[in-house]
A = this chain, B = another copy of it.
Amino acid sequence: MSSLPSVAIIGFGAFGQLVARHLRGRASLCICDPQVRSNDLPQVDSQIAARCDVIILAVPLSALRGVLSRMADHLRPGALVIDVCSVKIQPARMMQELLPDHVDLVCSHPLFGPRSAPDGLAGHRIAWCPLRGPQHLRAVALMRRMGLRVIRSTPDSHDREMAIVQGLTHLIARGLSDLGPLPDRLTTASYRHLMQAVAMVQDDSPALLHTILSQNPHAETTRSQFLDRINGLAQG
């Protein structure tokens, strides 16, 4: 028997794979994804995966309710369930509503991905919103040993900040890249920073863009304030 904690990664897309790379050797891993296979990690059904010590939900928000419903009755007392969606109010509600009282819950949002953290996690940030129970503290200790900056928040204050940090950044980046080929000869330092922001998010999936722009209850108000400002500036 391994003394390592058992960790299930539900959803083996780009982010699930990043998590797996960093947990190798630190946990006994299994994965659950009907669409992506792993070359070496054991692949199990979600109801088997639900028996692990820690369950990391790395599925899109649109799939979360279905996954939670399927796993709910199979989770063990004292297990820790963590989601990694880009918004937090909705996942927090779903987890509290659908999962039994005997599991611990934390909502998280890793503020990095395969593109922004290609060389490791040190110095990168993760938003961390504990919802229920003390089990998350061991995960916090592990993440800190890995060099992550764990930033405590609540689902509401997370979504409020992300309405700017992600909502406006993605809106601006998408609006700019839709203009077609952008200038790259006559450039200023500030414009080059803007272009780096565009490059980092322009290949994000339509599903992620939809989550960020539409599934954050603070996004619309923030966007309206920003659009009012720039429409006003444009008119002089």
Measured CB to CB, the residues of A under 8 A from B are: 109, 111-112, 116, 125, 127, 151, 153, 158, 161-162, 164-166, 168-169, 171-176, 178-179, 182-183, 185-191, 193-194, 196-197, 200-201, 213-214, 220, 222-227, 229-231, 233-234, 236
Q: How many copies does the complex hold?
A: 2
Chain B residues, CB < 8 A from A178: 229
Contact between chains at B186 and A169 (CB < 8 Å): no
Chain B residues, CB < 8 A from A222: 179
Contact between chains at B229 and A234 (CB < 8 Å): no
Chain B residues, CB < 8 A from A172: 172, 194, 230
A174 and B185 CA atoms in complex are apart in Å by 24
Chain B residues, CB < 8 A from A173: 190
Knowing A153-B186, A197-B191 are in contact, say whether A231-B227 is a contact too (CB < 8 A).
yes
**Candidates B153, B196, B200, B223; contact of A234 at CB < 8 Å:** B223
Consensus secondary structure, chain A interface: helix
Chain B residues, CB < 8 A from A175: 226, 229-230, 233
Chain B residues, CB < 8 A from A196: 190, 193
Contact between chains at B188 and A161 (CB < 8 Å): no
The residue of chain B having its C-beta at the shortest distance from the C-beta of A222 within the complex is B179
The residue of chain B having its C-beta at the shortest distance from the C-beta of A230 within the complex is B175
Contact between chains at A164 and B188 (CB < 8 Å): no
Q: Which 8 pairs between the two chains have the least Cβ-Cβ distance?
A: A175-B230, A116-B189, A190-B200, A193-B197, A161-B183, A175-B229, A190-B197, A193-B196
Contact between chains at A169 and B197 (CB < 8 Å): no
Contact between chains at B176 and A188 (CB < 8 Å): no
15 additional contacts (CB under 8 A) given A164-B191, A193-B200: A109-B186, A111-B188, A151-B186, A164-B176, A164-B183, A165-B187, A169-B190, A171-B230, A172-B172, A173-B190, A179-B225, A179-B226, A193-B193, A193-B194, A193-B197
Chain B residues, CB < 8 A from A179: 164, 222, 225-226, 229
Contact between chains at B236 and A213 (CB < 8 Å): yes
